[in-house]
Structure 1
Amino acid sequence: MTTPRDLMFVTMDVPSSPPVEQGDLSLALAGAELIDLIDAHAVALDGDRIVPRTQPALDDRLLDEASSSLTQQAPYETVEDWLWRRGRGLAAAYRAALEAEGQVTRRRHRWIPFSADRTAPVDSPARRHAADRWTSGELVLAALAAAVGIHDEPTADLAQLTDGPIPTVLAAVNEAVTELEAVRQRRRIEDAAFDNIWRGQ
Protein backbone atom coordinates (compact mmCIF):
# COMPACT_ATOMS: atom_id res chain seq x y z
CA MET A 1 0.00 0.00 0.00
CA THR A 2 1.17 3.54 -0.64
CA THR A 3 0.44 6.89 0.94
CA PRO A 4 -1.23 8.30 -2.22
CA ARG A 5 -3.59 5.33 -2.37
CA ASP A 6 -4.36 5.63 1.33
CA LEU A 7 -5.09 9.33 0.83
CA MET A 8 -7.46 8.52 -2.04
CA PHE A 9 -9.43 6.13 0.16
CA VAL A 10 -9.57 8.66 3.00
CA THR A 11 -10.99 11.33 0.68
CA MET A 12 -13.70 8.89 -0.45
CA ASP A 13 -14.54 7.56 3.02
CA VAL A 14 -14.26 10.59 5.31
CA PRO A 15 -16.89 13.32 4.79
CA SER A 16 -15.66 16.84 4.11
CA SER A 17 -17.51 20.09 3.65
CA PRO A 18 -17.04 21.58 1.15
CA PRO A 19 -16.06 18.55 -0.97
CA VAL A 20 -12.37 18.04 -1.68
CA GLU A 21 -11.20 20.02 -4.72
CA GLN A 22 -9.59 17.76 -7.31
CA GLY A 23 -6.75 20.20 -7.91
CA ASP A 24 -5.95 20.26 -4.18
CA LEU A 25 -6.07 16.47 -4.06
CA SER A 26 -3.73 16.19 -7.05
CA LEU A 27 -1.16 18.41 -5.32
CA ALA A 28 -1.45 16.41 -2.10
CA LEU A 29 -1.06 13.14 -4.01
CA ALA A 30 2.14 14.41 -5.60
CA GLY A 31 3.38 15.27 -2.12
CA ALA A 32 2.38 11.82 -0.88
CA GLU A 33 4.32 10.22 -3.73
CA LEU A 34 7.40 12.24 -2.84
CA ILE A 35 7.12 11.21 0.82
CA ASP A 36 6.96 7.54 -0.19
CA LEU A 37 9.96 7.99 -2.50
CA ILE A 38 11.90 9.54 0.39
CA ASP A 39 10.93 6.64 2.66
CA ALA A 40 12.04 4.18 -0.03
CA HIS A 41 15.42 5.99 -0.30
CA ALA A 42 14.70 6.66 -3.96
CA VAL A 43 15.27 10.39 -3.40
CA ALA A 44 16.71 12.75 -0.83
CA LEU A 45 16.12 16.44 -0.28
CA ASP A 46 18.96 18.93 -0.49
CA GLY A 47 17.22 21.93 0.97
CA ASP A 48 14.11 22.07 -1.20
CA ARG A 49 15.72 20.25 -4.16
CA ILE A 50 14.80 16.65 -4.98
CA VAL A 51 17.96 14.61 -5.53
CA PRO A 52 17.43 11.16 -7.11
CA ARG A 53 19.27 8.27 -5.50
CA THR A 54 18.55 4.63 -6.24
CA GLN A 55 15.56 3.38 -8.22
CA PRO A 56 14.23 0.47 -6.16
CA ALA A 57 11.34 -1.69 -7.33
CA LEU A 58 8.38 0.03 -5.72
CA ASP A 59 5.68 -2.51 -6.61
CA ASP A 60 3.29 0.26 -7.64
CA ARG A 61 2.89 1.46 -11.21
CA LEU A 62 2.12 5.10 -10.41
CA LEU A 63 4.89 5.35 -7.84
CA ASP A 64 7.34 3.79 -10.32
CA GLU A 65 6.13 6.34 -12.87
CA ALA A 66 6.77 9.12 -10.37
CA SER A 67 10.27 7.84 -9.66
CA SER A 68 11.18 7.55 -13.33
CA SER A 69 9.95 11.10 -14.02
CA LEU A 70 12.37 12.72 -11.58
CA THR A 71 14.79 15.31 -12.91
CA GLN A 72 18.14 13.50 -13.03
CA GLN A 73 20.55 16.41 -13.41
CA ALA A 74 21.59 19.31 -11.20
CA PRO A 75 20.31 21.75 -10.13
CA TYR A 76 17.41 19.28 -9.84
CA GLU A 77 13.77 20.13 -9.28
CA THR A 78 12.33 21.94 -6.28
CA VAL A 79 9.58 20.35 -4.23
CA GLU A 80 7.23 23.13 -5.31
CA ASP A 81 7.95 22.58 -9.00
CA TRP A 82 7.49 18.83 -8.55
CA LEU A 83 4.05 19.30 -6.96
CA TRP A 84 2.78 21.44 -9.83
CA ARG A 85 4.31 19.29 -12.60
CA ARG A 86 3.60 15.83 -11.22
CA GLY A 87 0.28 16.86 -9.70
CA ARG A 88 -1.34 17.80 -12.98
CA GLY A 89 -4.33 15.46 -13.34
CA LEU A 90 -2.93 13.07 -10.71
CA ALA A 91 -6.22 12.59 -8.83
CA ALA A 92 -7.87 11.36 -12.02
CA ALA A 93 -4.91 9.02 -12.68
CA TYR A 94 -5.18 7.44 -9.23
CA ARG A 95 -8.96 7.16 -9.50
CA ALA A 96 -8.60 5.42 -12.88
CA ALA A 97 -5.98 3.05 -11.46
CA LEU A 98 -8.17 2.13 -8.49
CA GLU A 99 -11.13 1.61 -10.78
CA ALA A 100 -9.11 -0.59 -13.15
CA GLU A 101 -8.03 -2.71 -10.17
CA GLY A 102 -11.60 -3.08 -8.96
CA GLN A 103 -10.86 -1.08 -5.80
CA VAL A 104 -13.58 1.46 -6.59
CA THR A 105 -16.77 1.40 -8.61
CA ARG A 106 -18.85 4.03 -10.34
CA ARG A 107 -22.42 4.23 -9.13
CA ARG A 108 -25.18 6.16 -10.83
CA HIS A 109 -28.04 7.54 -8.74
CA ARG A 110 -30.91 5.08 -9.24
CA TRP A 111 -33.63 7.75 -9.21
CA ILE A 112 -31.85 10.33 -11.36
CA PRO A 113 -31.03 8.70 -14.73
CA PHE A 114 -28.86 11.55 -16.02
CA SER A 115 -26.92 12.15 -12.80
CA ALA A 116 -23.14 12.05 -12.78
CA ASP A 117 -21.40 8.83 -11.77
CA ARG A 118 -20.19 8.69 -8.19
CA THR A 119 -16.97 6.90 -7.33
CA ALA A 120 -17.28 4.65 -4.30
CA PRO A 121 -14.66 2.33 -2.78
CA VAL A 122 -15.41 -1.36 -2.41
CA ASP A 123 -14.57 -3.29 0.72
CA SER A 124 -11.00 -4.45 0.22
CA PRO A 125 -7.75 -4.99 2.16
CA ALA A 126 -6.40 -1.76 0.64
CA ARG A 127 -9.37 0.24 1.88
CA ARG A 128 -9.15 -1.32 5.34
CA HIS A 129 -5.42 -0.57 5.47
CA ALA A 130 -6.11 3.08 4.71
CA ALA A 131 -8.87 3.17 7.33
CA ASP A 132 -6.58 1.63 9.94
CA ARG A 133 -3.86 4.14 9.16
CA TRP A 134 -6.38 6.99 9.41
CA THR A 135 -7.97 5.89 12.68
CA SER A 136 -4.54 5.29 14.23
CA GLY A 137 -3.81 9.00 13.80
CA GLU A 138 -0.77 8.49 11.57
CA LEU A 139 0.69 11.98 11.27
CA VAL A 140 1.68 12.14 7.60
CA LEU A 141 -1.66 10.90 6.31
CA ALA A 142 -3.51 13.23 8.70
CA ALA A 143 -1.42 16.20 7.53
CA LEU A 144 -2.07 15.46 3.86
CA ALA A 145 -5.79 15.02 4.49
CA ALA A 146 -5.89 18.30 6.41
CA ALA A 147 -4.20 20.05 3.49
CA VAL A 148 -7.14 19.14 1.23
CA GLY A 149 -9.74 20.14 3.82
CA ILE A 150 -10.49 16.92 5.69
CA HIS A 151 -10.57 17.70 9.40
CA ASP A 152 -11.98 14.71 11.19
CA GLU A 153 -11.02 12.64 14.18
CA PRO A 154 -8.33 11.74 14.86
CA THR A 155 -6.65 15.12 14.91
CA ALA A 156 -2.90 14.80 14.55
CA ASP A 157 -0.39 16.77 16.55
CA LEU A 158 1.39 18.05 13.47
CA ALA A 159 3.90 19.89 15.63
CA GLN A 160 5.55 16.50 16.11
CA LEU A 161 6.63 16.57 12.46
CA THR A 162 9.74 18.66 12.90
CA ASP A 163 12.67 16.51 11.82
CA GLY A 164 13.86 15.31 8.45
CA PRO A 165 12.60 16.15 4.95
CA ILE A 166 8.91 15.30 5.49
CA PRO A 167 7.96 18.68 7.03
CA THR A 168 9.47 20.39 3.97
CA VAL A 169 7.19 18.39 1.68
CA LEU A 170 4.10 18.95 3.82
CA ALA A 171 4.77 22.69 4.02
CA ALA A 172 5.13 22.85 0.24
CA VAL A 173 1.82 20.97 -0.21
CA ASN A 174 0.04 23.44 2.07
CA GLU A 175 1.55 26.42 0.26
CA ALA A 176 0.60 25.03 -3.15
CA VAL A 177 -2.99 24.33 -2.07
CA THR A 178 -3.23 27.85 -0.64
CA GLU A 179 -1.89 29.29 -3.89
CA LEU A 180 -4.38 27.29 -5.93
CA GLU A 181 -7.26 28.52 -3.77
CA ALA A 182 -6.07 32.10 -4.29
CA VAL A 183 -6.21 31.51 -8.04
CA ARG A 184 -9.78 30.20 -7.71
CA GLN A 185 -10.77 33.23 -5.66
CA ARG A 186 -9.37 35.61 -8.28
CA ARG A 187 -11.24 33.78 -11.02
CA ARG A 188 -14.50 33.93 -9.06
CA ILE A 189 -14.06 37.68 -8.53
CA GLU A 190 -13.23 38.21 -12.21
CA ASP A 191 -16.22 36.12 -13.32
CA ALA A 192 -18.54 38.00 -10.97
CA ALA A 193 -17.26 41.34 -12.26
CA PHE A 194 -17.78 40.19 -15.85
CA ASP A 195 -21.35 39.11 -15.02
CA ASN A 196 -22.03 42.46 -13.41
CA ILE A 197 -20.85 44.27 -16.52
CA TRP A 198 -23.26 42.27 -18.68
CA ARG A 199 -26.15 42.78 -16.27
CA GLY A 200 -25.47 46.51 -16.24
CA GLN A 201 -25.84 46.82 -20.01
Structure 2
Amino acid sequence: MTTAKDLFVIAMDPAPEHTVGQGDLSLALAGAELLDLLGAGTITVDGDLIVPDGSSVPDDRLLGEAAAGLTRQPPYERVEDWLWRRGRDLSATYQDALERDGELTQKRSGLLPFGPKQVELVDTPGRRRAVARREEGDPVLASLASAVGLDGGRPEGDEPRIDDETVTTVVATVHEAVMELEAVRQRRTIENTAFANVWRGP
Protein backbone atom coordinates (compact mmCIF):
# COMPACT_ATOMS: atom_id res chain seq x y z
CA MET A 1 0.00 0.00 0.00
CA THR A 2 0.97 3.66 -0.28
CA THR A 3 1.95 6.01 2.53
CA ALA A 4 -1.43 7.72 2.16
CA LYS A 5 -3.31 4.43 2.58
CA ASP A 6 -1.08 3.42 5.49
CA LEU A 7 -1.87 6.75 7.16
CA PHE A 8 -5.59 6.25 6.68
CA VAL A 9 -5.38 2.75 8.16
CA ILE A 10 -3.58 3.81 11.33
CA ALA A 11 -5.98 6.74 11.72
CA MET A 12 -8.82 4.20 11.64
CA ASP A 13 -7.23 2.02 14.33
CA PRO A 14 -9.91 0.61 16.67
CA ALA A 15 -8.38 2.38 19.67
CA PRO A 16 -6.62 5.54 18.48
CA GLU A 17 -5.33 8.11 20.94
CA HIS A 18 -8.16 10.36 19.82
CA THR A 19 -10.57 10.70 16.95
CA VAL A 20 -8.92 12.27 13.91
CA GLY A 21 -10.81 15.11 12.26
CA GLN A 22 -11.71 14.47 8.63
CA GLY A 23 -10.31 17.82 7.53
CA ASP A 24 -7.02 17.22 9.33
CA LEU A 25 -6.74 13.74 7.86
CA SER A 26 -7.54 14.97 4.36
CA LEU A 27 -4.70 17.51 4.50
CA ALA A 28 -2.28 14.87 5.78
CA LEU A 29 -3.38 12.41 3.08
CA ALA A 30 -2.66 15.03 0.41
CA GLY A 31 0.79 15.46 1.91
CA ALA A 32 1.32 11.70 1.98
CA GLU A 33 0.42 11.55 -1.70
CA LEU A 34 3.07 14.15 -2.46
CA LEU A 35 5.65 12.06 -0.63
CA ASP A 36 4.56 8.96 -2.53
CA LEU A 37 4.86 10.88 -5.81
CA LEU A 38 8.31 12.05 -4.77
CA GLY A 39 9.32 8.49 -4.04
CA ALA A 40 7.99 7.33 -7.40
CA GLY A 41 9.99 9.99 -9.26
CA THR A 42 6.81 11.64 -10.53
CA ILE A 43 7.62 15.04 -9.03
CA THR A 44 10.37 17.06 -7.43
CA VAL A 45 9.93 19.95 -5.00
CA ASP A 46 11.82 23.14 -5.83
CA GLY A 47 11.63 25.36 -2.75
CA ASP A 48 7.92 25.11 -2.09
CA LEU A 49 6.87 24.44 -5.70
CA ILE A 50 5.73 21.05 -6.99
CA VAL A 51 7.50 20.36 -10.30
CA PRO A 52 6.42 17.38 -12.45
CA ASP A 53 9.48 15.26 -13.24
CA GLY A 54 9.20 13.00 -16.26
CA SER A 55 6.26 10.79 -17.20
CA SER A 56 6.44 8.26 -14.36
CA VAL A 57 2.88 7.17 -13.51
CA PRO A 58 2.24 5.38 -10.20
CA ASP A 59 0.47 2.03 -10.30
CA ASP A 60 -1.89 3.01 -7.49
CA ARG A 61 -5.19 4.41 -8.81
CA LEU A 62 -5.49 7.25 -6.31
CA LEU A 63 -1.87 8.26 -6.80
CA GLY A 64 -2.50 8.18 -10.52
CA GLU A 65 -5.40 10.58 -10.02
CA ALA A 66 -3.18 12.82 -7.91
CA ALA A 67 -0.49 12.80 -10.59
CA ALA A 68 -3.05 13.62 -13.27
CA GLY A 69 -4.07 16.70 -11.27
CA LEU A 70 -0.58 18.19 -11.12
CA THR A 71 0.05 21.65 -12.57
CA ARG A 72 2.44 20.86 -15.41
CA GLN A 73 3.28 24.34 -16.66
CA PRO A 74 4.91 27.26 -14.84
CA PRO A 75 4.00 28.84 -12.53
CA TYR A 76 3.89 25.53 -10.64
CA GLU A 77 1.65 24.94 -7.65
CA ARG A 78 2.90 25.56 -4.12
CA VAL A 79 2.86 22.64 -1.69
CA GLU A 80 0.47 24.49 0.63
CA ASP A 81 -1.97 25.21 -2.20
CA TRP A 82 -1.84 21.56 -3.28
CA LEU A 83 -2.73 20.40 0.23
CA TRP A 84 -5.85 22.55 0.34
CA ARG A 85 -6.94 21.78 -3.23
CA ARG A 86 -6.19 18.06 -3.37
CA GLY A 87 -7.14 17.56 0.27
CA ARG A 88 -10.75 18.62 -0.16
CA ASP A 89 -12.82 15.59 1.01
CA LEU A 90 -9.81 13.34 0.38
CA SER A 91 -10.43 11.22 3.49
CA ALA A 92 -13.84 10.24 2.11
CA THR A 93 -12.20 9.34 -1.21
CA TYR A 94 -9.74 7.05 0.57
CA GLN A 95 -12.48 5.48 2.66
CA ASP A 96 -14.42 4.61 -0.50
CA ALA A 97 -11.30 3.22 -2.17
CA LEU A 98 -10.33 1.07 0.81
CA GLU A 99 -13.88 -0.26 1.09
CA ARG A 100 -13.75 -1.29 -2.56
CA ASP A 101 -10.38 -2.97 -1.95
CA GLY A 102 -11.74 -4.91 1.01
CA GLU A 103 -9.57 -3.10 3.57
CA LEU A 104 -12.62 -1.56 5.27
CA THR A 105 -16.10 -2.83 5.92
CA GLN A 106 -19.29 -1.23 7.17
CA LYS A 107 -21.09 -2.80 10.12
CA ARG A 108 -24.19 -1.65 11.94
CA SER A 109 -23.70 -0.62 15.53
CA GLY A 110 -26.07 -1.72 18.27
CA LEU A 111 -28.58 -4.54 18.18
CA LEU A 112 -31.05 -3.10 15.70
CA PRO A 113 -30.65 -4.07 12.03
CA PHE A 114 -31.41 -0.50 10.95
CA GLY A 115 -28.95 1.13 13.36
CA PRO A 116 -26.19 3.48 12.16
CA LYS A 117 -23.32 1.98 10.21
CA GLN A 118 -19.73 2.16 11.41
CA VAL A 119 -16.63 1.66 9.30
CA GLU A 120 -14.19 -0.95 10.60
CA LEU A 121 -10.80 -2.16 9.44
CA VAL A 122 -10.52 -5.67 8.05
CA ASP A 123 -7.57 -7.81 9.14
CA THR A 124 -5.71 -7.83 5.83
CA PRO A 125 -2.01 -7.96 4.87
CA GLY A 126 -2.28 -4.26 3.98
CA ARG A 127 -3.51 -3.37 7.44
CA ARG A 128 -0.80 -5.45 9.09
CA ARG A 129 1.88 -3.79 6.96
CA ALA A 130 0.61 -0.32 7.89
CA VAL A 131 0.58 -1.17 11.61
CA ALA A 132 4.05 -2.73 11.38
CA ARG A 133 5.38 0.33 9.58
CA ARG A 134 4.12 2.53 12.38
CA GLU A 135 5.40 0.23 15.13
CA GLU A 136 8.83 0.15 13.47
CA GLY A 137 8.95 3.94 13.77
CA ASP A 138 8.94 4.85 10.08
CA PRO A 139 9.80 8.58 10.38
CA VAL A 140 7.67 9.76 7.45
CA LEU A 141 4.55 7.92 8.56
CA ALA A 142 5.17 8.92 12.19
CA SER A 143 5.52 12.60 11.23
CA LEU A 144 2.29 12.60 9.23
CA ALA A 145 0.51 10.78 12.05
CA SER A 146 1.84 13.39 14.46
CA ALA A 147 0.35 16.15 12.30
CA VAL A 148 -3.16 14.76 12.96
CA GLY A 149 -2.51 14.11 16.64
CA LEU A 150 -1.54 10.43 16.53
CA ASP A 151 1.71 10.75 18.42
CA GLY A 152 1.92 7.21 19.68
CA GLY A 153 2.73 8.35 23.21
CA ARG A 154 5.96 10.15 22.31
CA PRO A 155 6.99 12.96 24.67
CA GLU A 156 6.04 16.43 23.40
CA GLY A 157 8.73 17.83 21.14
CA ASP A 158 10.17 14.38 20.40
CA GLU A 159 9.50 14.50 16.67
CA PRO A 160 10.69 11.76 14.30
CA ARG A 161 13.94 12.65 12.55
CA ILE A 162 13.76 12.97 8.76
CA ASP A 163 17.05 13.44 6.94
CA ASP A 164 15.63 14.39 3.53
CA GLU A 165 15.15 18.17 3.23
CA THR A 166 12.40 17.90 0.62
CA VAL A 167 10.42 15.43 2.71
CA THR A 168 10.88 17.68 5.72
CA THR A 169 9.47 20.62 3.73
CA VAL A 170 6.33 18.70 2.78
CA VAL A 171 5.77 17.35 6.29
CA ALA A 172 6.28 20.80 7.85
CA THR A 173 3.74 22.28 5.43
CA VAL A 174 1.23 19.59 6.41
CA HIS A 175 1.69 20.51 10.09
CA GLU A 176 1.20 24.21 9.28
CA ALA A 177 -1.95 23.53 7.25
CA VAL A 178 -3.49 21.43 10.03
CA MET A 179 -2.76 24.21 12.55
CA GLU A 180 -4.31 26.75 10.19
CA LEU A 181 -7.43 24.60 9.89
CA GLU A 182 -7.68 24.39 13.70
CA ALA A 183 -7.35 28.18 13.92
CA VAL A 184 -10.23 28.54 11.46
CA ARG A 185 -12.34 26.18 13.60
CA GLN A 186 -11.61 28.18 16.72
CA ARG A 187 -12.50 31.48 15.03
CA ARG A 188 -15.82 30.03 13.86
CA THR A 189 -16.59 28.74 17.35
CA ILE A 190 -15.91 32.17 18.83
CA GLU A 191 -17.98 33.90 16.14
CA ASN A 192 -20.88 31.48 16.57
CA THR A 193 -20.82 31.92 20.35
CA ALA A 194 -20.80 35.69 20.00
CA PHE A 195 -23.70 35.55 17.53
CA ALA A 196 -25.71 33.32 19.87
CA ASN A 197 -25.09 35.74 22.76
CA VAL A 198 -26.40 38.64 20.69
CA TRP A 199 -29.64 36.78 20.05
CA ARG A 200 -30.01 35.78 23.69
CA GLY A 201 -29.48 39.35 24.80
CA PRO A 202 -28.34 40.59 28.22
TM-score relative to the length of structure 2: 0.93
Residue 88 of structure 2 corresponds to which residue in structure 1?
88
CA contact under 8 A between 2:45 and 2:166: conserved in structure 1? yes
Q: Which residue of 1 aligns with 2:152?
A: 152
Secondary structure of the residue aligned to 1:51 is: strand
Is residue 51–residue 72 contact of structure 2 (8 Å, CA) maintained in 1? yes
Percent of aligned positions that are identical: 54
Distance 1:118 1:106, change over 3 A: same
- Higher mean Cα deviation, 77-86 or 50-59? 50-59
Over the residues paired in the alignment, what is the CA RMSD in angstroms?
Answer: 1.8
Residues 135 and 153, structure 1, Cα contact 8 Å, conserved in 2: no
Partner deviation per Cα, 1:50-76 (whole Å, 9 max, x = no partner) = 000123242211000001110000120
Name the counterpart of 2:191.
Answer: 190
Taking structure 1 as the reference length, what is the TM-score of the superposition? 0.93
Stretches of structure 2 that go unaligned for 5 or more consecutive residues are none
Give the conservation status (yes or no) of the 8 Å contact 1:48–1:168: yes
Task: Report the counterpart of residue 48 of structure 1 in structure 2.
Answer: 48
Matched residue pairs, number? 200
Which residue pairs with 2:106 in the alignment? Answer: 106
Structure 2 residue 33 is matched with structure 1 residue 33: yes
Q: What residue identity is the alignment partner of 1:158?
A: E
Counterparts in 2 of 1:60-79, with a 5 A limit? 60-79=60-79
Gaps of at least 5 residues in structure 1 are none
| 1:159 Cα offset (Å) | 5.7
**Higher mean displacement: 137-146 or 148-157:** 148-157
C-alpha distance in 2, partners of 1:114/1:196?
39
